């Protein structure tokens, strides 16, 4: 995962599929970045490199969303391919946060 600040956005750029074997590593880096960086008002999860996400990956996304909301930050997902966007739609998560 690559992390960068872009103005008032903290962008978490996922470089791999969010599956059970990868989520622990991604979660650790995401939490460290969210905690150590400051000055941002929105967390953006960029998933343009991701093709597969399992239930553990969905749990990761929900966890990042909850972290952003508890900190008063906005949250959105960008770069979702058709299959990932459909998954969020089927789970009605696209009604909870923005998915593009």
Task: Fill in the DSSP letter of residue 40.
Answer: -
92 — alpha (psi -120 to 50), left (phi > 0) or beta?
Answer: left
Tens-place pLDDT, residues 7-45: 999 999 999 999 999 999 999 999 999 999 999 999 999
Q: In the chain, where are the structural domains located?
A: 2-99
Work out the number of other CB atoms within 10 angstroms of the CB of residue 2: 12
**Candidate CATH numbers 3.30.750.24, 3.30.70.1560, 3.40.50.300, 3.10.20.340; the one for domain 2-99:** 3.30.750.24
pTM of structure: 0.93
pLDDT value at residue 95: 96
Which percentage of the chain shows pLDDT scores above 90?
99
pLDDT value at residue 2: 96
- Residue pair 50/14 in contact by the 8 Å Cβ criterion: yes
């Amino acid at each position: 995962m690559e992390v960068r600040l872009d103005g008032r956005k903290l962008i978490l750029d996922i470089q791999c599929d969010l599956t059970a074997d990868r989520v622990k590593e991604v979660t650790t880096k995401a939490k460290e970045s969210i905690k150590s960086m400051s000055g941002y008002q929105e967390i953006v999860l960029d998933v343009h490199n991701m093709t597969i996400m399992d239930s553990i990956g969905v749990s990761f996304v929900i966890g990042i969303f909850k972290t952003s909301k508890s900190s008063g930050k906005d949250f959105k997902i960008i770069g979702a391919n058709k299959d990932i966007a459909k998954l969020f739609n089927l789970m009605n998560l696209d009604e909870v946060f923005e998915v593009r």
